[in-house]
Structure 1
Amino acid sequence: MDVLGIDIGGSGIKGAPVDIEAGKLTRERLRVPTPQPARPGPVAEVVARIVDHFSWTGPVGVTFPGVVRDGVVMTAANVHHSWIGVDAAETFGVATVLNDADAAGLAEMTFGEGRGRRGTVLMLTFGTGIGSALFTEGVLVPNTELGHLQLKGKDAEHRASDRAREESDLSWEKWAARVEEYLRHVEMLFSPSLIVVGGGVSRKAGKWLPHVHLDTPIVPALLQNEAGIIGAAQMAAAPRPAAAR
Structure 2
Amino acid sequence: MGNILAIDIGGSHIKAILLNTKGEPVSDYVKIPTPQPSTPHNILDGIKELVKGLAEYEKISVGFPGYIRDGVVKTAPNLGTSDWQGFELQNLLGTLLKKPAKVVNDADLQGIGIVSGKGLEMMITLGTGFGTALLLDGKLLPHFEIAHHPVKTDTDYDAYVGEKAYMKKGKEHWNYRMGKVFKILKTVFNYDRLYISGGNAKNLTIPLDDNMIIATNKEGIRGGARLWAND
Q: Same fold (TM over 0.5)?
A: yes
Match of 1:30 in 2: 30
**RCO higher in structure (CA 8 A, sep ≥6):** 1
SS state of the match for residue 188, structure 1? Answer: helix
For normalisation by structure 1, the TM-score amounts to 0.83
Q: 1:28 to 1:169 in 2, by over 3 A?
A: farther
8 Å Cα contact 1:20-1:230 kept in structure 2: no
Give the drift of 1:169: 4.9
Relative to structure 1, is the Cα distance of residues 150 and 2 closer, same or farther in structure 2, using a 3 angstrom cutoff? same
In the alignment, what sits opposite 1:229? 221
**What's the CA shift for 1:107?**
0.3
Aligned residue number for residue 41 of structure 1: 41
AA in 1 matched with 2:199: G
What amino acid sits opposite 1:238 in the alignment?
Answer: A
Give the CA RMSD over aligned residues. 2.0
Cross-structure match for 1:217: 211
Shift of 1:239: 5.6
Distance (Å, rounded) in 1 between the aligned partners of 2:137 and 2:221:
23
Residue ranges of structure 1 left out of the alignment (5+ in a row): 110-114, 241-245
Give the length in aligned residue pairs. Answer: 223
1:22-66 deviation digits (Å, cap 9, x = unpaired): x32221101111112210000001111222120434211112111
Task: Verify: 1:78 aligned to 2:74, yes or no.
Answer: no
Equivalent residues in 2 for 1:1-245 (5 A)?
1-21=2-22, 23-79=23-79, 80-93=81-94, 94-109=100-115, 115-116=116-117, 118-153=118-153, 154-166=155-167, 168-171=168-171, 173-202=172-201, 204=202, 207-209=203-205, 211-213=206-208, 217-221=211-215, 224-235=216-227, 237-238=228-229
> Moved runs in structure 1, 4+ residues, more than 6 A?
none
Contact 2:112/2:139 (CA < 8 Å) preserved in 1?
Answer: no
Distance 1:46 1:90 in 2: 17
Unaligned runs of 5+ in 2: 95-99
User: Residue 177 of structure 1: CA displacement?
Assistant: 1.1
Distance in structure 2 (CA, Å) of the matches to 1:15 and 1:34: 12
Deviation of 1:226 after TM superposition, in Å, equals 2.5
Distance 2:104 2:53 in 1: 22
Supply the distance in 2 between the matched residues of 1:128 and 1:229 (Cα, whole angstroms).
18
C-alpha distance in 1 between matches for 2:11 and 2:32: 11
